């Protein structure tokens, strides 16, 4: 019974989940987990017409379209079958999902269901019901876990989970994160395979946009070819004119002297290079502190391009140290923005608009580290060291502090930890994919 003490129990459901809510409906996700990890009483399986089922090979999990498990081997009665396994909560879903008309399901040899609620006389596929063929504690604990009122459903558990499991989980999700970054960067590099600098230009621009204006910065660099900026890399004013003009942020109407100069210069450069500006509505100023306004970030980005002379290679050298990046990325705005947050809109307070240390760390984490990993994986003869090198950069940086990392109940020591937490929360916890997580697996199995 829920709440009673059992010998050998690691922790009672109510103690584990003090906010236990109403049960969740049985789902295929849970049944697939039971099948994949052999948590079913396989020695008790019979088809609905009474034939004994012997599972010799459960098959491999299929995350794409088609049956849930591929290339299984099952003995039904005296006949040995090789093919696929499909899992549903109810047998009637076979026809409701249209599998009987889908060629991808032609080689299904066994239909595994929680409840056999409909007899299909036309189907030749054996059905096995597993309603009472697995430990009830698994469903009880899973239901309690799904009922937690947190994004990180296992928050009450994590302090009690062995550290080795948590550390291994971090490594696993970080490997997934870097592989995702690699695939994304490779796709974006594809149109310019003769030159990787436009890719670096795009990645740094996105990083300067931070989360709120990342997409707007991406649009800006797509509208503003790097080849144009390279022609003016020695002139900060012209870089600002190009970027602010292309961003659609040079105001009309009232203008101070500097803004009029920017507009005049931009109109000349726009005609010269046949440029098309973006709409100003792409930029988000709402709920941002003035120092984080997109106008300030664009001015800092212009100074960054001026400072590195539109050459990103020096930032990706393998012998670089954190102190080198802190110096190289220590950018500020032109003197005009010491008294302005927007063009032609003077501030009451004069202040330097330097990119802070946390902002520099953001650039290292979100631009330099992934670019280094992508470059070494793509071009280096020692690509097997790419993961280790990327991880080493993050291990040397302080942890990020944001809304996602604040959800995590354990201590976050460095940027490697914070990046792994961001990956885990956004790609697992938010979608309640606890059964694909080592911690969720541990919670169920430990009972």
pLDDT tens digit sequence for 102-117: 999 999 999 999 999 9
Arithmetic mean of pLDDT, 417-441: 94
pTM: 0.82
Q: What's the pLDDT band for 7 if we cut at 50, 70, 90? A: very low
pLDDT tens digit sequence for 252-272: 988 999 999 999 999 999 999
pLDDT tens digit sequence for 130-180: 999 998 888 888 888 888 888 999 998 899 999 999 999 999 999 999 999
The domain limits of the chain are 13-149, 175-395
Which tokens hold the place of 22?
Answer: 């109403």
pLDDT tens digit sequence for 59-89: 999 988 999 999 999 999 999 999 999 999 9
pLDDT tens digit sequence for 381-395: 777 788 888 899 999
Q: Give the Cβ contact number of residue 65 at 10 Å.
A: 7
CA separation (Å) from 289 to 245, 284, 285, 294, 334? 23, 11, 8, 10, 19
């Amino acid at each position: 019974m829920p709440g009673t003490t059992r010998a050998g129990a690691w922790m009672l459901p109510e103690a584990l989940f003090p906010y236990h809510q109403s049960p969740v409906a049985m789902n295929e996700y849970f049944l697939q987990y039971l099948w994949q990890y052999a948590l079913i009483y396989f020695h008790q399986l019979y088809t609905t017409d009474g034939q004994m089922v012997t599972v010799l090979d459960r098959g491999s999990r299929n995350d794409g379209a088609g049956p849930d498990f591929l290339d299984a081997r099952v003995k039904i009665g005296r006949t040995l079958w090789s093919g696929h396994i499909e899992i549903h909560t109810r047998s009637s879903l076979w026809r409701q999902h249209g599998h009987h008309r889908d060629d991808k399901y032609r080689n299904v040899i066994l239909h595994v269901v929680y409840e056999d609620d409909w007899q299909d006389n036309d189907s030749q596929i054996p059905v096995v019901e597993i309603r009472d063929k697995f430990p009830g504690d698994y469903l009880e604990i899973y239901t309690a876990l799904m009922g937690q009122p947190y994004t990180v459903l296992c928050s009450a558990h994590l302090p009690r989970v062995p550290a080795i499991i948590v550390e291994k989980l971090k490594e696993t999700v970080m490997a997934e994160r870097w592989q995702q970054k690699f695939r994304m960067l490779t796709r974006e590099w594809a149109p310019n395979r003769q030159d990787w600098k436009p890719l670096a230009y795009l990645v740094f621009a996105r990083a300067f946009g931070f989360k709120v204006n990342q997409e707007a910065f991406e649009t800006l660099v797509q509208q503003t070819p790097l080849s144009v900026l390279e022609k003016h890399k020695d002139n900060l004013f012209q870089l600002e004119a190009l970027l602010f003009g292309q961003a659609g942020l040079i105001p009309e109407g009232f203008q101070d002297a500097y803004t009029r100069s920017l507009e005049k210069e931009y109109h000349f450069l726009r005609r010269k290079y046949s440029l098309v500006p973006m709409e100003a509505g792409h930029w988000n100023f709402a709920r941002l502190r003035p120092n984080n306004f997109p106008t300030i970030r664009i001015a800092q980005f212009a100074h960054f391009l001026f400072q590195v002379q539109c050459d990103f290679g020096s930032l990706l050298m393998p012998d670089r140290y954190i102190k080198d990046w802190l110096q190289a990325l220590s950018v500020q705005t032109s003197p005009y923005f010491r008294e302005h947050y927007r063009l032609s809109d003077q501030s009451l307070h004069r202040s330097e608009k330097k990119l802070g240390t946390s902002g520099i760390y953001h650039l290292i984490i979100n631009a330099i580290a992934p670019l280094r990993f992508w470059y070494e994986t793509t071009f280096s003869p020692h690509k097997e060291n790419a993961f280790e090198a990327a991880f080493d950069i993050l291990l040397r940086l302080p942890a990020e502090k944001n809304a996602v990392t604040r959800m995590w109940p354990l201590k976050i020591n460095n940027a490697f930890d914070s990046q792994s937490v961001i990956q885990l929360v956004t790609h697992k916890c938010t979608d309640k994919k606890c059964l694909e997580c080592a911690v969720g697996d541990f919670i169920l199995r430990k009972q």
